[in-house]
Structure 1
Amino acid sequence: MTVLRTTNLTKRFGKFTALNGVNIEVSRGEVYGFIGPNGAGKSTTIRVLLGILKASGGEAKIFDKDAWSDAVDIHKQIAYVPGDVNLWSNLTGGEIIDLFVKLRGSNNKSRREELIEKFDLDPSKKCRTYSKGNRQKVALIAAFSSEADLYILDEPTSGLDPLMEKIFQECVMDAKISGKSVLLSSHILSEVERLCDRIGIIRQGKIIETGTLSELRHLTRTSLLVETKQPIKSLSEIIGVHDIEKKGQALSFQVDSEELGNIIKYVSQFEIMRLESAPPKLEDLFMRHYEGVGENTNKGRDES
Structure 2
Amino acid sequence: MDTIVTIRGLSKRFGTFSALKNVNLDIRAGEVLGFIGPNGAGKSTTIRLLLGILKPSSGTAKIFGEDVWSRAVEIHRRIAYVPGDVNLWPNLTGGEIIDLFIKLQGSGDVARRDELIGRFELDPSKKSRTYSKGNRQKVALIAAFASDADLFILDEPTSGLDPLMERVFQECVEEIKAKGKSVLLSSHILSEVERLCDRVAIIREGEIIETGTLEELRHLTRSLFQVETRIPADRLSTFPGVHDLEQTERKAVFQVDSEQVGVVLEYLTGLGVMKLESMPPTLEDLFMRHYEKQGGRQGASHA
Q: Under TM normalisation by the shorter chain, which class is it? A: over 0.9
Partners in 2 of 1:167 and 1:277 — Cα distance?
30
| Residue 39 of structure 2: aligned partner | 38
| Residue 162 of structure 1: aligned partner | 163
Q: Contact conserved, 1:220 with 1:281, CA < 8 A, in 2?
A: no
| Residue 90 of structure 1: aligned partner | 91
| Deviation (angstroms), 1:248 | 8.5
Partners in 2 of 1:250 and 1:86 — Cα distance?
55
| Residue 210 of structure 2: aligned partner | 209
Is 1:294 the counterpart of 2:273? The answer is no
After TM superposition, where is structure 1 displaced by more than 4 Å over at least 4 residues in a row? none
Q: Contact conserved, 2:36 with 2:43, CA < 8 A, in 1?
A: yes
Partners in 1 of 2:148 and 2:259 — Cα distance?
44
- For the residue of structure 2 that corresponds to 1:137, the secondary structure is helix
- The one-character-per-residue Cα deviations of 1:200-246 (angstroms, maximum 9, x if unpaired) are 10011100010111111101111000111121112111011000113
Partners in 2 of 1:91 and 1:83 — Cα distance?
20
Unaligned runs of 5+ in 2: none
| Deviation (angstroms), 1:268 | 1.7
- The one-character-per-residue Cα deviations of 1:247-298 (angstroms, maximum 9, x if unpaired) are 78521100111111110111222211110111111111100011214239xx
Is 1:243 the counterpart of 2:247? The answer is no
**Alignment-mate amino acid for residue 21 of structure 2:** N
Partners in 2 of 1:105 and 1:42 — Cα distance?
27
Change (3 A) 1:228 1:107: closer
Change (3 A) 1:67 1:231: same
**Alignment-mate amino acid for residue 294 of structure 1:** Q
- The one-character-per-residue Cα deviations of 1:75-133 (angstroms, maximum 9, x if unpaired) are 01000000011111111100000000011122411000000000000000111111111
1:55-204 equivalent positions in 2, closer than 5 A: 55-204=56-205
Change (3 A) 1:174 1:270: same
1:2-13 equivalent positions in 2, closer than 5 A: 2-13=3-14
Deviates more, 1:153-162 or 1:264-273: 264-273
- For the residue of structure 2 that corresponds to 1:219, the secondary structure is coil
Partners in 2 of 1:195 and 1:107 — Cα distance?
24
- For the residue of structure 2 that corresponds to 1:125, the secondary structure is coil
| Residue 18 of structure 1: aligned partner | 19
With the length of structure 1 as denominator, give the TM-score of the two structures.
0.95
Q: Contact conserved, 2:122 with 2:138, CA < 8 A, in 1?
A: yes
Aligned residues: 297
- The one-character-per-residue Cα deviations of 1:7-65 (angstroms, maximum 9, x if unpaired) are 01100011110100111101111111111111110000000000011100100100111
- For the residue of structure 1 that corresponds to 2:219, the secondary structure is helix
Q: Contact conserved, 2:232 with 2:251, CA < 8 A, in 1?
A: no
- For the residue of structure 2 that corresponds to 1:226, the secondary structure is strand
Partners in 1 of 2:60 and 2:129 — Cα distance?
39
Partners in 2 of 1:67 and 1:248 — Cα distance?
62
| Residue 299 of structure 1: aligned partner | none
Change (3 A) 1:286 1:135: same
Partners in 2 of 1:63 and 1:107 — Cα distance?
20
Q: Contact conserved, 1:3 with 1:26, CA < 8 A, in 2?
A: yes
Partners in 1 of 2:209 and 2:248 — Cα distance?
36
Partners in 2 of 1:107 and 1:182 — Cα distance?
18
Change (3 A) 1:247 1:88: farther
- The two structures, once aligned, show a CA RMSD in angstroms of 1.3
Partners in 1 of 2:28 and 2:171 — Cα distance?
20
With the length of structure 2 as denominator, give the TM-score of the two structures.
0.95
| Residue 275 of structure 2: aligned partner | 274
**Alignment-mate amino acid for residue 259 of structure 2:** E
| Residue 285 of structure 2: aligned partner | 284
